[in-house]
């Protein structure tokens, strides 16, 4: 079976969001992080350089 192109990287979600320069986008990212944690009950993890994921699902 082929490997997925996008893999979990182990990079820090907090560092990724801290690097967002625009204050409105930074605040929105923090709020979405809190909402997604609450809704999914999962901890976030980075997938590739720019995707924040919550949990894993096998299709």
| Span 24-54, pLDDT tens digits | 999 999 999 999 999 999 999 999 999 999 9
Helix (H, G, I), strand (E, B) or coil at 45: strand
Distance CA 50, CA 15 (A): 11
Where do the domains of the chain lie?
13-54
Q: pTM for the complete prediction?
A: 0.80
> What is the predicted pLDDT for the residue at 2?
81
φ and ψ at residue 29, rounded to 5 degrees: -60, -40
Question: Phi, psi at residue 36, to the nearest 5°?
Answer: -65, -35
User: What is the pLDDT, as a whole number, of residue 37?
Assistant: 96
The larger pLDDT score, comparing residue 35 to residue 6, is at 35
């Amino acid at each position: 079976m082929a490997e997925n192109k996008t893999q979990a990287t182990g990079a820090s979600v907090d560092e990724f969001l801290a690097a967002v320069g625009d204050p409105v986008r930074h605040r929105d990212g923090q709020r979405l992080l809190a909402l997604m944690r609450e809704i999914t009950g999962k901890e976030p993890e980075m997938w590739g350089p720019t995707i924040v994921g919550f949990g894993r699902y096998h299709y």
